[in-house]
A and B are shown apart, each in its own frame.
Chain A
Amino acid sequence: MKIALRNAVLLMALLLLLALIPRLVSEFNLNLIISMAIYSLFVLSYNILFGNAGLLSFGHAAYFGMGAYTTIILFKKLKFGILAGLFAGAGTGALLGLVFGIFVVRLGGTYFALLTLAFNQLVYAAAEKFRFLTGGEDGVAAMRPKLALPGLAPIDMFSSVNWYYLVMVVVLAGGAFCWYFTRTPLGRLNECLRENEDRARFIGYNVYASKLAIYVISAFFAGLAGALAGAFQEFVTVTFINLDKAAEVLIMTFIGGARYFWGPILGACFLTWVNDLISSWTKHWPLIQGALFVLLVMYAPNGLSGLVMSLRDRLLAKAAAGPRPAV
């Protein structure tokens, strides 16, 4: 009860802080925070596979890119509204996830990693070649349309502040669902499949269908994150879909730590922030990021969040033991 109350208070404080941010920070930093929010949703979608299901995907950029392209192309060619465009992006991400998922979720481990990578490259090649739709290497650009809500005058999305609030609402809703998902029967089964797939099958679960459903859900949110990223940049190119992007989400998730729900969010925010901070004085940031990644893989497999938690446990244990008597 006490903990539930504390969590509720913390959550309210966080929401209040997020609501006040546009008043507190500069426009430049506001844009940085929007980036962090979008990448947070992307890593959460990735962690449904990586952290919860234990599936190592090298092809999550396919869904992110699919979402981004769909949204921008619909804004441009069919004059979609902003919400319709974003959800169409998420929808096509999920659809692509379904098509690829049929093949990839049959496999586990290394084969899964390989096939997701190959499919990612397939989508990349398609985006590069279908120039009439995607503009190839040049990409496509489209302005963010106004937000039309029933009973209200259209809200201008050109203003960073309005756009910030929309992104926050979408990301928080998506993030809340991802969190809620870990508590649903399917979400629990997801973890069970990671720990012991044979046992889940033995109990009578349809492992294939469950994995496919999980894969599609993950692709949906990756598509939504991509749609937001596309709408944010008002521009999409093959960099939304290439191997670097697929690697980025893996690195963010791993550096943040896949074991805790908030770990990947920490990773996404931390890396986005440091990237911005550091890129002004060194262009070798990816090297540092890679070194950090390798160090964490070797010495702290639970990432930064794992380090924070073990530090906390150590401090709590010390506090519980009381001050060491002087000898």
Chain B
Amino acid sequence: MDWGTTLAVQGLHGMVYGMLLFLVASGLTLIFGMMGVLNFAHGALYMLGAYFSFSILRWSGSFWVSLLVAPLGVAAAGMVIERFFLRKVHAHGHAHELLITFGIAYIIEELVKMIWGNKPLLVVLPPALSGSVAFLGIQYPVYRLFILFVSLLVFILLFTVLFKTRIGIIVRAAVANKQMTDALGFNVPLIFLLLFSMGAWLAGLAGVIGGPYLITNPGMAATIIIDLFVVVVVGGLGSVEGALIASLLIGCLQSFGILFLPQFAIVFEFLLMALVLIFRPHGLLGEAR
């Protein structure tokens, strides 16, 4: 395998992980933009997606059913978190909101360990998604291409809704200026509830498709939350476009970092974050607030 192919393959790896990261990060950054809440439980919701999918797959025998149902379950969990926990502490300020989502993440993690155990779980893929295809002169796993396909599809859907529909305009207005949107007569708490559960749905979907790829295990929330936070800081809190750029950047940093300096791949990520915070404290595309 020559260098050109290696680079192309690593770039593709980076894209796959980056797009997966974007699915989770887009919800996180929109939620932050709208309510100023950094949802610590977002990684836990992603993990919940993977575990729901595992159980639904075992029960129904079909990966496609779990792909459809599990994210809805996570969205419902998100709704509960917003309605019964987050909203109650909203009046106490952002520190309390951060703390409550942190506590919920902690509880979800423990619950997952209690229900599904500490060991990594193996998800059996349907035959259509296992194996590999000849691609760029090499064999590339079908499943990774599937991840890329699904995340691109959702990404296009998300951008269409966000930038081409009336609902999207209202959400973007609420992210830009919550008070004004409220004053214009829109039901901001309802929008936020829906946005939060949509973010949870996206995280859950990422969990379902990411589980077989990154291995379903109780540590997956803690692993992704770090990458997520780097993405939202680098991209700018509240910016979906920024999250897209940052996600792909992190994905490529990891895949190329592993190629050149396997021991210190993780350091590049923090270096990037530190540099962004020093020179552009509000992120690549974030607005100063």
Q: A291 — which chain B residues lie within 8 A by C-beta? A: 107
Tell me what chain A mostly uses at the interface: helix, strand, loop, or mixed.
helix
A247-B89 in contact (CB<8A): no
B226-A118 in contact (CB<8A): yes
Interface centre among B95, B100, B222 (most CB of A within 10 A): B95
On whether A125 and B267 interact (CB within 8 A), knowing A291-B107, A294-B85, A297-B99, the answer reads yes
Q: B103 — which chain A residues lie within 8 A by C-beta? A: 290, 293-294, 297
**Once the chains are docked, how many angstroms separate the CA of A54 from the CA of B222?**
25
Interface string of A240-270 (1 = CB under 8 A from B): 0001000100110010000000000000000
Q: B99 — which chain A residues lie within 8 A by C-beta? A: 56, 254, 293, 297
Contact partner of B98 among A103, A110, A251, CB < 8 A?
A110
On whether A118 and B230 interact (CB within 8 A), knowing A103-B278, A297-B99, the answer reads yes
B88-A298 in contact (CB<8A): yes
**Once the chains are docked, how many angstroms separate the CA of A249 from the CA of B95?**
16
A243-B100 in contact (CB<8A): no
**Once the chains are docked, how many angstroms separate the CA of A77 from the CA of B180?**
63
Distance between B106 CB and nearest chain A CB, rounded to angstroms: 4
Contact partner of A247 among B85, B102, B114, CB < 8 A?
B102
Interface string of B94-119 (1 = CB under 8 A from A): 11101110111011001100100000
**Once the chains are docked, how many angstroms separate the CA of A290 from the CA of B270?**
29
On whether A294 and B104 interact (CB within 8 A), knowing A122-B267, A122-B270, the answer reads yes
* CB of B273 within 8 Å of the partner chain: yes
* CB of A17 within 8 Å of the partner chain: no
On whether A109 and B94 interact (CB within 8 A), knowing A125-B266, A298-B100, the answer reads yes
A301-B96 in contact (CB<8A): yes
Interface string of B213-244 (1 = CB under 8 A from A): 00000000010001001101100010000000
**Once the chains are docked, how many angstroms separate the CA of A109 from the CA of B7?**
40
Contact partner of A107 among B38, B107, B267, B281, CB < 8 A?
B281
**Once the chains are docked, how many angstroms separate the CA of A107 from the CA of B106?**
25
Q: A54 — which chain B residues lie within 8 A by C-beta? A: 95
**For residue B271, which residue of chain A has the nearest CB?**
A122
- Chain A interface size range: 20 to 34
Interface string of A155-194 (1 = CB under 8 A from B): 0000000000000000000000000000000000000000
Distance between A195 CB and nearest chain B CB, rounded to angstroms: 13
On whether A111 and B281 interact (CB within 8 A), knowing A118-B229, A286-B106, A290-B103, the answer reads yes
**Once the chains are docked, how many angstroms separate the CA of A56 from the CA of B38?**
13
* CB of B152 within 8 Å of the partner chain: no
Q: B111 — which chain A residues lie within 8 A by C-beta? A: 287
Interface string of A80-116 (1 = CB under 8 A from B): 0000000000000000000000010011011101110
Interface centre among A110, A121, A251 (most CB of B within 10 A): A110
A290-B36 in contact (CB<8A): no
Q: A297 — which chain B residues lie within 8 A by C-beta? A: 89, 96, 99-100, 103
Distance between A20 CB and nearest chain B CB, rounded to angstroms: 38
Q: B273 — which chain A residues lie within 8 A by C-beta? A: 115, 118
**Once the chains are docked, how many angstroms separate the CA of A56 from the CA of B40?**
13
Interface string of B262-273 (1 = CB under 8 A from A): 011011001001
Q: B95 — which chain A residues lie within 8 A by C-beta? A: 54, 56, 109
B222-A111 in contact (CB<8A): no
Q: B166 — which chain A residues lie within 8 A by C-beta? A: none
On whether A121 and B226 interact (CB within 8 A), knowing A103-B274, A286-B110, A287-B107, the answer reads yes
B281-A106 in contact (CB<8A): yes
* CB of A284 within 8 Å of the partner chain: yes
* CB of A207 within 8 Å of the partner chain: no
* CB of A117 within 8 Å of the partner chain: yes
- A102-153 contacts to B (CB < 8 Å): 103, 106-107, 109-111, 113-115, 117-119, 121-122, 125, 129
* CB of B176 within 8 Å of the partner chain: no
- A260-300 contacts to B (CB < 8 Å): 284, 286-287, 290-291, 293-294, 297-298
- B61-108 contacts to A (CB < 8 Å): 85, 88-89, 92, 94-96, 98-100, 102-104, 106-107
A247-B106 in contact (CB<8A): yes
On whether A110 and B36 interact (CB within 8 A), knowing A103-B274, A118-B229, A129-B263, the answer reads yes
Distance between B285 CB and nearest chain A CB, rounded to angstroms: 16
Distance between B234 CB and nearest chain A CB, rounded to angstroms: 11
**Once the chains are docked, how many angstroms separate the CA of A106 from the CA of B279?**
12
B277-A115 in contact (CB<8A): yes
Interface centre among B32, B88, B229, B232 (most CB of A within 10 A): B229
Q: Can you list 10 contacts pairing A with B, beta carbon distance less than 8 Å?
A: A56-B95, A103-B277, A113-B38, A114-B232, A118-B230, A118-B233, A118-B274, A122-B270, A125-B266, A284-B110
Q: What 4 pairs between A and B have smallest CB-CB spacing?
A: A294-B103, A287-B110, A290-B106, A290-B107
Q: Which residues of chain A have a CB within 8 Å of any CB of chain B? A: 54, 56, 103, 106-107, 109-111, 113-115, 117-119, 121-122, 125, 129, 243, 247, 250-251, 254, 284, 286-287, 290-291, 293-294, 297-298, 301
Give 4 A-B pairs besides A110-B38, A129-B264 with Cβ atoms closer than 8 angstroms.
A111-B281, A243-B222, A286-B110, A297-B96
